[in-house]
Amino acid sequence: MQDTLGAFVPGAILRRPPHRSGPLSGLSFAVKDLFDVAGDVTGCGNPDWAASHDAPETDAWAVDVLRRAGAALTGKTITDEISLGLLGINKFDGTPLNPRAPDRVPGGSSSGSASAVAGGLVDVALGTDSGGSVRTPASFCGIYGLRPTHGRISVAGLMAQAPTFDTVGYFARDALTFGRVGGVLLGEQLADALHPEIVIASDCFALADEPVRLALEPVIERLRKAVPTTAAALAKGELLEWGRHQRILQKSEFHATFRDWIDRVNPRFSSEVAGAFADDGRIAAQDLAAAKGFREVASKRLDDVLDGRRMLCLPTSPILPIARDARLSEMRAAVHRIVDLTCIAGLTGLPQVNLPVATSGPIPVGLSLIGWRGGDASLLAAAQTLAKEFSIGLYEELS
C-alpha cells in the first residue's frame, strides 16, 4: 500500500497482524497517533512529544480488541498537534488530503484516520473525539463516524486531552462495516432494524450556513416520510451558550493535562496551538463553576428531550470544510463555528453518529443523530436502517 493521501505518520507504515480470526477477519484498520501500539512511540502529532516519551509495552484497549476480532492493523494516522484542532492541519506531519474535496481541509483532529478510510486505504480507522474530532472529519470527508457515550468504550492506552470529554470513536465507508465494528467495540449485538422517533433540532439548523441547510433540506424531507419526526428547539435560551461553556471546561482540562510537559520540555508548536496555551489556562473560578453547573443543566435537558427513545437530528458541522490554504484568522473562525454544534454531545457526553447523506456540489455535508445516554448500539442500528432507507453507503461498493 502506498500512502497517496498523506494520511499516515511519516516513515515506514506500521503493521501488526490480527491476534486470531474473528468477526472482523479480512478488514484492515488504522489508528490515530494518540493510541498506543506496543513497541511504537505514540507521537501525538508533535515531534517533541515523541522525543520525550518511551514506546509503550502494550496496545491500547481498542487496538487490542480489533486485533482480537480478526482485523489487521495497517498504519498510524496523522493527528492535529496533541489533538488540539478540528481542521486536520499539522505543521510537522502535514495535512492529509480530503479525498472528496482535495482543495479543502479533511477535518480534525482525527484527520489521517478519516482521510485513509475515505480514500480506501483501510476499511476502518480509530479516532478520538473530545470536541468534535471524529464527527467533523467524518462530515468533511463524507464517511460514517461515531463519537460514543462518554465512558462507553475504554480509553485505556489513549493519550488523554480532556478526560471528561475524551472518547474513542471510529470511521467506516459503509454502513454494514460501520455496524460490524461498532458491535465489537461496544461488545453488544445491534438490532436488525430500528426506526427511531427523531427530534429535528430547529435551532441547530438555524446556526448552519446556507449551503449546509440547502444540502440537508431534501434529506430532512425524506426523513419525515420515513420515520416519526417532530421539530423543536434544543436550547432553552441561547444555543451558543452551550459552546461557550464547553470551551471553558475543555480548556481547563487540556491545560491541566499538558502544563507540566510544556514547562519541562518547552516544545515546538505551531502558532495556533501555541496560542491555546498563551494564557496558561487562567480561568476565573466563578466561570469554571458556572460552566460545570451549566453542563449539569444541559445534560438533564437533553436526557429529558431524548427520554431513552428519541434521537436528535442536526447538521454535523454548521460550515463546509474551509480551503487548505486558508488564513489563520479563517481557521480560528471555522473552529469556533464547528464547536457551536459539536459541543452538544461533547458537553453532555452523549453518543453521536455522522451520516454521509448529502453534498453541496461535490463537497460532503454530514447529518448527525445524537442518541440517548448509553444508547450507542441503538444509534448504530438506526444509522444502518436509514442507510437502507436512503440507499446511502450501505455496502462499500455502493458508497
- d(Cα 27, Cα 181) in Å, to the nearest integer? 10
Name the maximum alpha-carbon separation found in the chain. 58
Helix (H) or strand (E) holding 146: strand 144-147
* Residue in 237, 250, 255 with CA at minimum distance from that of residue 347: 250
133 tagged catalytic: yes
- d(Cα 231, Cα 259) in Å, to the nearest integer? 44
Q: Which residues of 210-228 are buried (b: 16+ CB within 10 A; e: fewer)?
A: eebbebbeebbeebeeebe
Which of 28, 110, 133, 270 is an active site residue?
Answer: 133
111 tagged catalytic: no
* Residue in 140, 159, 154 with CA at minimum distance from that of residue 34: 159
109 tagged catalytic: yes
Query: Which phi and psi (to 5°) does residue 245 adopt?
Result: -75, -35
Question: What do you get for the CA distance between the two ends of the chain, in Å?
Answer: 21
Which of 109, 113, 252, 368 is an active site residue?
Answer: 109
Strand-pairing partners, residue 231, are 200
What residues are labeled active site?
32, 109, 133
